[in-house]
Amino acid sequence: MKAITYTEFGGPEVLRLEEVGEPHAGPGQVRLKVVAAGVNPLDSKIRSGRRPQMAPPFPVIPGVEAAGVVDEVGEGVTGVAVGDEVLGWTVTGAYAEHALAVDFGPKPADLDWDLAAALPVAVETSVRVLDALGVGEGDTLLLHGAAGVTGAVGVQLAVARGATVIGTASPGNHDYLRSLGAIPVAYGTGLADRVREAAPQGIDAVYDAAGAGDLEVSIDLLSGTDRIITIADPKAAELGVTFSGPAPFGSRLGEYARLAADGKLTVRIAQSLPLEDAAKAQELSASGHAAGKLVLRP
């Protein structure tokens, strides 16, 4: 099969389109014929060597998110059959024509493939954080990085729970945040004053999806760390803030995929690119300037 691989850490130039052996479904696994693979900033961090503890042995096939058609079912797997369309997390790398998965949910037939590939990480992350923060009816949530893919999903899910969301973003994304139901504020110097003006009643919780150094401001606004969670700021432990990492999500993904198919949960798709353009996709993702999700099509 065709796959993107790399055999050393480095810049995007280490990525190569190669012919590699196909994986086959073992116990508890399904194999997907990948239709679309999501590109995440973490993919670039692992490839560059900034997250060596997260890198599998070389050669590496990057990527964790995929949507595709099940074409092999391993021993012990129930509730799914060859020919089913699913979305979820791969264990062998998503930038490939085939990938193995153990954590996945059903894809509605009317859900666009690119959108399906864009959902797993953003949905799992935001549901996990909002649950841990206990965000619900009447809360005011400050969400840093609200215009990014994960942040935007977090905005929508928090609004659906009945929360008021104050979302930080560059001014060019403020209309977008308003369309999602958030109250936008610009990040940078003076952030605390802008948040207080937007939420004179105060804030109840903070979800940091940006990792841009706003934890100290958040602690000051909240007068403590009890309801602050970051998914991106390495200073979390130093400041006594909870850093939250991924957890199995499984078939729950199906209910959010259904919301997306019904137009009740949206993700901006920046570009859908052929597999051989993986280096370009990772560069755009890492730059932070892509207006939405980048997707690869094997």
The backbone torsions φ and ψ at residue 157, rounded to the nearest 5 degrees and listed phi first, read: -70, -35
Tell me what pLDDT residue 53 has. 86
Sign of CA dihedral 164, 169, 170, 174: negative
Contacts of 54 (CB under 8 A, 6+ apart): 42, 46
Tell me what pLDDT residue 168 has. 98
Confidence of residue 30 (pLDDT cuts 50, 70, 90): very high
Q: What is the pTM of this model?
A: 0.96
The whole-chain average pLDDT of the chain stands at 96
Instruction: Reply yes or no on whether the pLDDT at 256 is more than 90.
Output: yes
Instruction: Reply yes or no on whether the pLDDT at 56 is more than 80.
Output: yes
Tell me what pLDDT residue 76 has. 97
Q: What mean pLDDT comes out for the span 211-218?
A: 95
Q: What mean pLDDT comes out for the span 36-56?
A: 93
Tell me what pLDDT residue 251 has. 85
Which helix (H) or strand (E) segment is 56 a member of? Answer: none
CA 156 to chain centre: 14
Instruction: Reply yes or no on whether the pLDDT at 140 is more than 80.
Output: yes
Q: What is the DSSP string of 198-240?
A: H-TT--SEEEE-S-SS-HHHHHHHHTSSTTEEESS-TTHHHHT
118 token code pair: 């864009």
Contacts of 258 (CB under 8 A, 6+ apart): 108
Distances in Å between the Cα of 160 and the Cα atoms of 63, 136, 173, 205 are 29, 9, 20, 16
40 token code pair: 């995440």
Query: Residues 260, 115: contact at Cβ < 8 Å?
Result: yes
Sign of CA dihedral 255, 261, 265, 266: positive
Confidence of residue 86 (pLDDT cuts 50, 70, 90): very high
Query: Residues 167, 187: contact at Cβ < 8 Å?
Result: no
Confidence of residue 288 (pLDDT cuts 50, 70, 90): confident
Tell me what pLDDT residue 204 has. 98
Confidence of residue 290 (pLDDT cuts 50, 70, 90): confident
Distances in Å between the Cα of 119 and the Cα atoms of 6, 75, 80, 92, 130 are 25, 27, 20, 19, 16
Q: How many CB atoms lie within 10 A of CB 223?
A: 9
Helix (H, G, I), strand (E, B) or coil at 140: strand
